[in-house]
A and B are shown apart, each in its own frame.
Chain A
Amino acid sequence: MKGKRGNVEKHYYLMVLPGLVWLFLFSIVPMVGIVMAFQDYNPGLGIFGSEWIGLENFRYLMQLDDSKQVIINTLIISSGKIVLNLLVPLIFALLLNEVTQLQYKKLVQTIVYLPHFISWVIMASIVINIFGYRGAINTIRSWFGLEPRLFMADPSIFRQLVIGTDVWKSFGFNAVIFLAALTSINPNLYEAATIDGANRWQKTRYVTLPELRPTIVLLGVLGLGNILNAGFDQVYNLYNPLVYSTGDILDTWIYRLGLTNLQFSLATAAGLFKSVVSFVLITISYVLAYKFADYKIF
């Protein structure tokens, strides 16, 4: 029986093949480069000839004041993003779902969907302008007699700004998944609820949300995989030395180490460190998802 199924599905294996080759070439093969983290890497000698220095790079990383701060920043920014990127699109999708006028619904959906496609390079300029000293926000503040504030230079609000703008940019896109899930809910359930006398809120609470639970958990688990990715493009284009204390994240830090300061080994060590921590976090989140939501990806 099993063997027969295997035969039947042969063409599926074939279809997976290009993807696996791609994965092997671009994700597995480069992993050899990880050895750089344990070497004093010398490009002239390459990764097979460079001197081995054991954990020296990691030891130095841990000595740096920066590394702790950078990890904290990364965790705060990315967890804020994960939570809000789940909640805001969900609420938005639920609200939009209640809109009955189809054309209006389509219009709103398209408009909020658009910012997702603008690169952070451009988006950052827009954000800097909006929050600039003479930008829209400060103009509004001035109507209420408030002094203009230099938002982009203020470490105490930089994280909120990063999280907020990211959510603003992507909630329309993320809402699409929820909207799709909403359409797949069996209408019978709603009809039954109506007969039982449920109002709109009760329908949302007792029908929609439970039906959406697998989707929410799935997105949450997938999001946790990015717990140490706080968004290089975004932060790199928005930050400046004044907000390093709260805005510098692992990726920007590794970038400066590796590409600006040519500390290849140190940057690799930091990258590897990040990967290991991510791996642990993903494993934990996976176990949690299974435990609390009875959800398994593999």
Chain B
Amino acid sequence: MIKKLIAVVLVCMLALVSVACSSGSKTPSSDANENTSSNNESESTPSENGSSEGESSGDPAFMKFPKPVDVHIGMSVSPVDKTLPPGDSAQDNQYTRYLRENFNINVIVDWTAAEGENYNQKVSLAIASGDLPDGLVVNDRTYMVRAAKSGLLYDITDLFEKYASKQVKEIMASTQGRAMENASYNGRMVSLPNITVDTDGIYVMMIRKDWLDKLNLPVPKTLSDIEKTAKAFIENKMAGEHTIGIVGPDKNGRPYSTFLRSSNNRFGFDPVFQAMDAYPGYWLDDGTGKVVYGTLTENTKKTLELLARWYKEGIIDPELGTRDSSAEVVNANQAGIFFGPWWSIGYGNGDSFKNDPNANWQAYPVYSDDGKWNVRMKTVGTMYTLISKKASEDVAKAIIIMNNVLVRDEGIFDTSVAISWYPLRNVMAPADECEYEYKELWKILRGEADPEDYNIPGNPYKLMYSDAKAIKNVVKPADPNSEMLNVQDFDQTDFGKFQRFYSLLIGNRPYATITPDKKVYSVTYNQTETMERKWANLQKLEDEAILKIILGQEPISSFDEFVEKWKAQGGDEITAEVQAEYDKKNK
């Protein structure tokens, strides 16, 4: 009898192999928002702390609850962060205490997961089980839509109107309604969107200027210049035997950004595509109102042909697409050129300077052969704070207030504790924050402005004042009139500040000082109905085909086969959907 029972049980167990999958972990590629405005931002003084509190009494956006309100959250944490003082935790640190003391908001962390893939998995499971904590930040709109569609989210349309601070509303308004549109489902606001700086999606060329100087070469402007320069770097063994000309995406990276992930694509070839007037991964208007998918265009094909040739000639990293981490190569100073957004030098390659304090990384646009700088523009933001439908009204209010507080007070917290410990942190920054800071910081460096000029409470450019106070200690330009800083013009003692200013003043220089000739937006940055089902398959098809062509595993002629396949496996259907949405919008 028992034998039989065991048999039945065993059989059942074997039959149930895996309904849900087991977990695996991957190192997350560097998270953008971490880099754009994370650690080391500013110093706090107690007096400021006090003053901002005083001002806000009576404003519903900063009201103190009469009774403590418990807010349960799920939280993404960095496994390598060491900034929490001993005894503090995700649930009990300076930020949560600040919220408890000033607003009676009591944060309870239900679960934590390591940032990146692990966290996404956890979010995915939370949605799948229909069991969301009160508040949760998700990294992708797909999660938000999925949760909204399932009726798991709190409709905050009215609460937001009433309780969001003026500052938050101003930043939202600066996107011309795009942020609100993203945060809504069926016309109701169901999440708090993040709003990140435009320059997170502007890709430029990062190059070792000191290598150029050593070889007496000019700064390359066009693709053929870049080709020659990269060849020169390799031939002259600038980093020894294994010098890499141009770094490419690693195994978690992408050769170009896409409409779903339109920003912060480091080590992609976006500027190369753009210089050929190609915008793969974006939905484009072909000029007549007809929607085409950018990957399928003739220009994309031509660019792929070029990249394949570069790869064959050894100009691009031979380990493209399989490398564990491309950042390692840059940090080890083995490479001369890579492409990325403004923070890729400074924030993104700190170790490069630690290994060689004279590594003079500079950022420049890549021009087309007729001298045009084309850029693709990102969507407003990709992260969303979700509020569970099961949350009480007070809890929903509390989460909106937590966001107000973050936007208002981020500049005054003690930054020795990483700001990522702020519960439900979701960045809201004016789209032009980096360019604004670039211009104002230069005014200070030239002596045209005084740091105290920026002491404006409620300024949406929330880091401006603290940056203004610090800039002169870190940046000492040899020639204040040229704006062409070199690494030697920086004091690296306060390394966090050094990284921030390096990104702001050098990485961001192209976009802050040069107006692009053409700005390309995707027709949509969101998924349509059919995409939810079929996009994953198409994306896989695309990733595989593109990488194989670049690596020379397939000839360029296979591109046409890929296009046919893509169309047949749902691409045509999806294009028609995007077209319909586009037509509706243009009416």
By a beta-carbon cutoff of 8 Å, the part of chain A in contact with chain B is 13, 16, 20, 23, 27-28, 30-31, 33-34, 36, 42-46, 60, 64-66, 120-121, 125, 128, 132-134, 148, 150, 152-155, 225, 228-229, 232-233, 236-237, 240-242, 244-245, 251, 254-264, 266-268, 271-272, 274-276, 278-279, 282, 298
Query: Whole-angstrom distance from the CB of B4 to the nearest CB of chain A?
Result: 8
Query: Whole-angstrom distance from the CB of A44 to the nearest CB of chain B?
Result: 4
**A20–B14 touching, CB < 8 Å:** no
Among candidates A36, A132, A233, residue contacting B319 with C-beta atoms closer than 8 Å? A132
Sample of 7 further A-B pairs with CB below 8 A, known A134-B242, A258-B128: A43-B146, A44-B130, A132-B322, A242-B321, A245-B544, A259-B21, A275-B19
**B13–A23 touching, CB < 8 Å:** yes
Give the most central of B3, B19, B124, B127: most A CB within 10 Å. B19
**A43–B124 touching, CB < 8 Å:** no
Query: Whole-angstrom distance from the CB of A158 to the nearest CB of chain B?
Result: 11
The complex places the Cα of A143 from the Cα of B149 at a distance, in Å, of 60
The complex places the Cα of A261 from the Cα of B149 at a distance, in Å, of 15
Given A45-B150, A66-B540, A133-B319, answer yes or no on A232-B551 (Cβ-Cβ < 8 Å). no
**B26–A240 touching, CB < 8 Å:** no
Given A20-B9, A128-B324, answer yes or no on A66-B551 (Cβ-Cβ < 8 Å). no
**A271–B18 touching, CB < 8 Å:** yes
Query: Whole-angstrom distance from the CB of A9 to the nearest CB of chain B?
Result: 8
Instruction: Give the interface SS of chain B, mostly helix, strand, loop or mixed.
Output: helix
The complex places the Cα of A241 from the Cα of B24 at a distance, in Å, of 17
The complex places the Cα of A273 from the Cα of B251 at a distance, in Å, of 30
In the complex, per-residue mask of B500-517: 1 if CB is within 8 Å of any chain A CB, else 0: 000000000000000000
Within 8 Å CB of A267, what residues of B?
Answer: 20-21
Within 8 Å CB of B322, what residues of A?
Answer: 128, 132, 150, 152-153, 240, 242
Subset of 9 A-B contacts with CB under 8 Å: A30-B16, A232-B21, A236-B26, A241-B540, A242-B553, A258-B124, A259-B21, A262-B143, A278-B14
Within 8 Å CB of A60, what residues of B?
Answer: 533
**B128–A264 touching, CB < 8 Å:** yes
Among candidates A43, A237, A262, residue contacting B129 with C-beta atoms closer than 8 Å? A43
**A125–B21 touching, CB < 8 Å:** no
**B536–A242 touching, CB < 8 Å:** no
The complex places the Cα of A193 from the Cα of B389 at a distance, in Å, of 78
Within 8 Å CB of B13, what residues of A?
Answer: 23, 27
**A271–B20 touching, CB < 8 Å:** yes
Within 8 Å CB of B535, what residues of A?
Answer: 261
The complex places the Cα of A263 from the Cα of B142 at a distance, in Å, of 11
B417 CB-CB contact with A under 8 Å: no
**A244–B16 touching, CB < 8 Å:** no
Closest 3 CB pairs of A and B: A44-B150, A44-B151, A43-B130
The complex places the Cα of A30 from the Cα of B17 at a distance, in Å, of 11
The complex places the Cα of A266 from the Cα of B26 at a distance, in Å, of 24
Among candidates A30, A132, A268, A279, residue contacting B15 with C-beta atoms closer than 8 Å? A279
The complex places the Cα of A278 from the Cα of B10 at a distance, in Å, of 13
Tell me the B531-568 residues at the A interface (CB within 8 Å): 532-533, 535-537, 540, 543-544, 547-548, 551, 553
**A251–B318 touching, CB < 8 Å:** no
Within 8 Å CB of B389, what residues of A?
Answer: 44
**A28–B15 touching, CB < 8 Å:** no
Among candidates B2, B121, B547, residue contacting A241 with C-beta atoms closer than 8 Å? B547
**A237–B544 touching, CB < 8 Å:** no
**B121–A259 touching, CB < 8 Å:** yes
**A34–B124 touching, CB < 8 Å:** no
The complex places the Cα of A237 from the Cα of B25 at a distance, in Å, of 8
**A13–B128 touching, CB < 8 Å:** no
Given A16-B2, A236-B24, answer yes or no on A275-B321 (Cβ-Cβ < 8 Å). no
**A43–B127 touching, CB < 8 Å:** yes
**B548–A254 touching, CB < 8 Å:** no
In the complex, per-residue mask of B300-339: 1 if CB is within 8 Å of any chain A CB, else 0: 0000000000000000001101111000000000000000
Among candidates B6, B151, B251, residue contacting A240 with C-beta atoms closer than 8 Å? B251
Question: From B4, which residue of chain A is reached at the shortest CB distance?
Answer: A298
B186 CB-CB contact with A under 8 Å: no
Question: From B548, which residue of chain A is reached at the shortest CB distance?
Answer: A242
Question: From B125, which residue of chain A is reached at the shortest CB distance?
Answer: A259
B152 CB-CB contact with A under 8 Å: yes
**A133–B318 touching, CB < 8 Å:** yes
B355 CB-CB contact with A under 8 Å: no
The complex places the Cα of A236 from the Cα of B121 at a distance, in Å, of 14
Within 8 Å CB of A228, what residues of B?
Answer: 17
Question: From A283, which residue of chain B is reached at the shortest CB distance?
Answer: B11
